[in-house]
Every structure is written in structure tokens, then in C-alpha cells.
């Protein structure tokens, strides 16, 4: 498949590019700065160039993250990607945040409001992920939103993960975590065999 990956210079995006390349896909990495490895340099709001890229793609994966302090831009960048995906009829998989998930043992509480998983220093980025999901909801694009667990960081590729729906997954010790490598395995599993579920999560 031809897969465009936005955020290709970032923590998640580099690993999605690696996983997709290892599986033999035709990968088009994208970020604003040239990160090497054939990265296309453009902003997701560059409507003309983004649509040209997507017209030649089967799937677009977004691993875009706003810089700290620029979280207010998230609905705009998400809307730009959604519009381009809809206009070009390209399936869009967004790697978003854990914030919009429901807390594991508090069915009326979102993770953004649960300080066990979102300490105060993460709150603005968690709020941005809620706004990101809200930008998707009701949009005609063929979008899927992947919420990571509370902790997503570089680590090992085990190829093993659990898949959930819209409730944060925790392990037996109460930890909610996955490596960016294994999250990328889940991204490619979904790209290759879409489950048809709009919002899902994965974790160990």
C-alpha cells in the first residue's frame, strides 16, 4: 500500500515509517522540516500539496503533535487533514491522545479529568486530544482515531499488545503503557486490516 505518514520526524511517526517500511509498504514520510529518509517537507495546512500527496495514496497516517504552547492549533491542523482526506477519498488514521478515553474504573470520568493518568503538566496536551477527536466526530472523511494508553514512549518492539475500545487499558499492576514501537505495530495492523471501529485504544 502507499502510505503517507505525517509527523514522520517525531517519536511516533519515525516508528510508524519504520514499521510500514519493514512490512514492504510504499511509505511517504512528511514533516515540516526535512528529516532525511526522503521526507517531504510541508505543513499539513498546505492544502494544494497535501491533496496532491493524498491523491496518490491509499492511506494517510497522522502522528502530528503541536509544539508545547501551540495546542490551540490542533483543531485547525486536524480539520485540514480531515478535509484533504475527504476530498481525496483517502482513509485517515490519526494517532491521537489518551485524554478522550473513559477512565478504567470510573465510567463517567474521562481520562483528561483523572489525575492518576493525566497529571497537571499534561493537561493542555490532553485537552488538545479531546478537541482533536471532537473535530473528527461527524466529519464525512473516513477517519479512525487511535488513543494511546497513558504512557507512550520509545522502547522495544515486542509485536504484542491488547486492543480496546474507548476505555483506557491498564495492566494488572494498574499501569497504562505501550512502547511507540508496539503502538506502530497496532497502527499498521489497523491500516492493513481496518476493524471498522472509529475510536479504539491499545496497550500492554
Ligand X SMILES: NC(=O)c1ccc[n+]([C@@H]2O[C@H](COP(=O)([O-])OP(=O)(O)OC[C@H]3O[C@@H](n4cnc5c(N)ncnc54)[C@H](OP(=O)(O)O)[C@@H]3O)[C@@H](O)[C@H]2O)c1
CB of 46 to ligand X, least distance (A): 8
Residue 188 binds to ligand X (criterion: CB under 6 A): no
Q: Which of 78, 88, 103, 129 binds ligand X (CB under 6 A)?
A: 129
Burial of residue 173 (number of CB atoms within 10 Å: 0-12, 13-18, 19+)? exposed
Residue 77 binds to ligand X (criterion: CB under 6 A): yes
Q: How many other C-beta atoms lie within 10 A of the C-beta of residue 50? A: 25
Cell of 28: 511517504
CB of 64 to ligand X, least distance (A): 4
Distance between CA atoms of residues 181 and 61, nearest Å: 15
Residues 6 or more apart from 47 whose CB is under 8 A from it? 80, 83, 84
Considering the complex, state which of residue 91 and residue 187 has its C-beta at the smaller distance from ligand X.
187
CB of 138 to ligand X, least distance (A): 20
Tell me the C-alpha to C-alpha distance, in Å, between residue 32 and each of 8, 37, 182: 9, 14, 25
Q: Candidates 83-91, 146-154, 167-175, 184-192 — which segment interacts with ligand X by CB under 6 A?
A: 146-154
Residue 146 binds to ligand X (criterion: CB under 6 A): no
Q: Give me the residues that bind ligand X (CB under 6 A), please.
A: 6-13, 31-33, 43-44, 63-65, 77, 95-98, 125, 129, 148, 150, 152
Amino acid at each position: 500500500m502507499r502510505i503517507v505518514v505525517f509527523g514522520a520526524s517525531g517519536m511516533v511517526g519515525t516508528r510508524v515509517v519504520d514499521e510500514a517500511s519493514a512490512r514492504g509498504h510504499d511509505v511517504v514520510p512528511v514533516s515540516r522540516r526535512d528529516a532525511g529518509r526522503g521526507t517531504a517537507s510541508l505543513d499539513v495546512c498546505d492544502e494544494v500539496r497535501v491533496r496532491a500527496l493524498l491523491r496518490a495514496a491509499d492511506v494517510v497516517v497522522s502522528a502530528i503533535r503541536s509544539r508545547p504552547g501551540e495546542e490551540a492549533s490542533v483543531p485547525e491542523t486536524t480539520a485540514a487533514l480531515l478535509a484533504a482526506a475527504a476530498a481525496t477519498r483517502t482513509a485517515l488514521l490519526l494517532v491521537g491522545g489518551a485524554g478522550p478515553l473513559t477512565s478504567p474504573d470510573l465510567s463517567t470520568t474521562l481520562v483528561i479529568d483523572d489525575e492518576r493518568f493525566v497529571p497537571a503538566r499534561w493537561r493542555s496536551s490532553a485537552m488538545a486530544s479531546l478537541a482533536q477527536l471532537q473535530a473528527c466526530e461527524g466529519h464525512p472523511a473516513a477517519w479512525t482515531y487511535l488513543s494511546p494508553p497513558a504512557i507512550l514512549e520509545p522502547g522495544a518492539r515486542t509485536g504484542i499488545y491488547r486492543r480496546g475500545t474507548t476505555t483506557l487499558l491498564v495492566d494488572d499492576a494498574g499501569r497504562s503503557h505501550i512502547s511507540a514501537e508496539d503502538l506502530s505495530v497496532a497502527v499498521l495492523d489497523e491500516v492493513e486490516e481496518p476493524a471498522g471501529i472509529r475510536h479504539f485504544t491499545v496497550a500492554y
